[in-house]
């Protein structure tokens, strides 16, 4: 279906893609495997089929089953169809936002421990690419493993250099913490190359931030309990 929708609507949506640049940026950081234009074309094709079909169904139900006057049946069917179309549009626009938010929460909760592991293997003097590859292999949170795996893919399959792959991953990361960490690896790679010191410092900072956040939650719960 994605192939059919792209064949029918892809060329027209290429022109619309520039006008939806902010939405495309959200989509690109939400972990979708298919291009933005294919996502749009598929859902537009579904809407073009579903909305008229829904209108006909509602009209028939009001006319034949509920026995409502033809003009009023057409009006009611039109109102329900407009509601369906609005719900469909909102769902298509909101789902990438929700998916990016969900990815960010999972990545941020796991990242301090993953960076701690990366600091341990960086102490062995391995390269940035190998460090990220090892993290992708052992990572249990699929959202974080997805980000690391795509960095390795960009290097080995697409032929990007390590700096470009890290920069690209940081730009499409749903998590600001992960983007900052990847940018820091890139900057360290350019300057000193001391990944061990950088990852250890970052791991300590992330874990301390997590401890502070948990302490704030406990304090808030204590205040609520006293109230």
> What's the pLDDT tens digit per position in 23-65?
888 888 888 878 788 888 888 888 888 888 988 888 888 877 7
Nearest to 144 by CA among 113, 187, 98, 188: 113
| Residue 96 contacts residue 166 (beta carbons within 8 Å) | no
pLDDT at 161: 86
Compute the distance between CA of residue 147 and CA of residue 207 in angstroms, rounded to an integer.
20
The alpha carbon torsion through 204, 210, 213, 214 (nearest 10 deg) reads -120
pLDDT at 11: 64
pLDDT at residue number 35: 78
Distance between CA atoms of 140 and 138, rounded to whole angstroms?
6
C-alpha–C-alpha distance, residues 160 and 7, integer Å? 30
**pLDDT, position 12:** 63
The DSSP line for 139-177 is: --SHHHHHHHHHHHHHHHTS---HHHHHHHHHHT-S-HH
CA angle 191, 197, 203 (to 5 degrees): 120
CB 73 within 8 A of CB 63: yes
| DSSP three-state, residue 95 | helix
Give the CB-side neighbour count of residue 148, counting CA atoms within 13 A: 25
How many angstroms separate the Cα of 174 from the Cα of each of 28, 102, 113, 191? 9, 9, 18, 26
User: Which pLDDT score, from 0 to 100, does residue 216 have?
Assistant: 85
Residue 10: the pLDDT is: 56
Cα–Cα dist 25/36, whole Å? 9
The pLDDT of residue 176 is: 92
DSSP assignment string, 121-133: HHTTT--HHHHHH
CA gyration radius for the chain?
A: 24
- At residue 82, the pLDDT reads 92
Q: What is the pLDDT of residue 5?
A: 57
* Dist. CA 45–CA 13, nearest whole Å: 12
The per-residue pLDDT for 195 is 87
Q: Tens place of pLDDT for every residue, the chain, 227 residues?
A: 555 555 566 566 666 767 777 788 888 888 887 878 888 888 888 888 888 898 888 888 887 777 777 788 888 889 989 998 999 888 888 899 999 999 999 999 899 999 999 998 888 888 888 899 999 888 888 889 999 999 999 888 888 888 899 999 998 899 999 999 999 999 988 887 788 889 999 999 988 888 888 888 888 888 888 87
């Amino acid at each position: 279906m994605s192939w059919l929708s792209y064949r029918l609507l892809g060329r027209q949506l290429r022109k619309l893609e520039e006008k939806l640049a902010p939405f495309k940026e959200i989509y690109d950081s939400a972990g979708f495997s298919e291009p933005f234009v294919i996502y749009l074309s598929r859902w537009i094709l579904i809407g073009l089929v579903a909305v008229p079909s829904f209108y006909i169904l509602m009209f028939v139900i009001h006319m034949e089953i509920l026995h409502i006057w033809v003009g009023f049946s057409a009006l009611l069917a039109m109102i329900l169809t407009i509601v369906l179309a609005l719900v469909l549009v909102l769902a298509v626009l909101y789902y990438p936002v929700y998916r990016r938010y969900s990815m960010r929460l999972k990545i941020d909760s796991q990242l301090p421990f993953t960076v701690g592991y990366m600091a341990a293997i960086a102490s062995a003097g391995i390269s940035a690419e190998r460090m990220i590859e090892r993290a992708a292999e052992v990572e249990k949170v699929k959202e974080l493993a997805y980000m690391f795996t795509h960095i390795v893919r960009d290097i080995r399959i697409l032929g990007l250099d390590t700096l470009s792959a890290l920069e690209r991953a940081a730009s499409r990361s749903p998590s600001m913490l992960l983007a900052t960490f990847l940018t820091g690896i890139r900057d360290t790679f350019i300057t000193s190359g001391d990944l061990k010191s950088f990852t250890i410092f970052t791991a300590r900072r992330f874990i301390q931030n997590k401890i502070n956040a948990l302490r704030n939650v406990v304090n808030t719960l204590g205040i609520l309990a006293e109230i």
